[in-house]
Amino acid sequence: MRLVEWRIYNELAEANDRTCQIMNYFRCPHGEGWRELVQDGHDAYRLWEEIKWYDTHWNRSISYTPAASEMKWYHYDEPPIMDVKSCEDIIRASDR
């Protein structure tokens, strides 16, 4: 899943292996494009959070077991909607 996370930020959000340590947008080397970059990063972050939520609720974990009262919210025995280890499958699922 780490490769999928990297591809979401790097390819979908178009980071293209760039990092920026500047925290002051007045000094941003991208000029007015900083707003779009921040929005793309935020959208990628939200997508990644949804993928992690999906993975938690559809795929069993060896390190986490939900409480019995919460099991109604988990879909462990249902067929998966997407493969969280495939960026292409995630993109296809998000296009639906």
Task: Sketch the domain layout of the chain as residue ranges.
Answer: 2-95
Percentage of the chain beyond pLDDT 70 is 98
State how far the Cα of 34 lies from the Cα of 25, in Å rounded to an integer: 7
Does residue 48 carry a pLDDT above 90? yes
Percent helix, strand and coil across the chain, each to the nearest 5: 60, 0, 40
Q: What is the pLDDT of residue 32?
A: 80
Report pTM: 0.78
What's residue 23's pLDDT?
77
Q: How far apart (Å, rounded) are the C-alpha atoms in residues 2 and 30?
A: 28
Residues 6 or more apart from 11 whose CB is under 8 A from it?
Answer: 87
Dihedrals phi, psi of 3, to nearest 5 degrees? -65, -40
**Cα 8 from Cα 5, distance rounded (Å):** 5
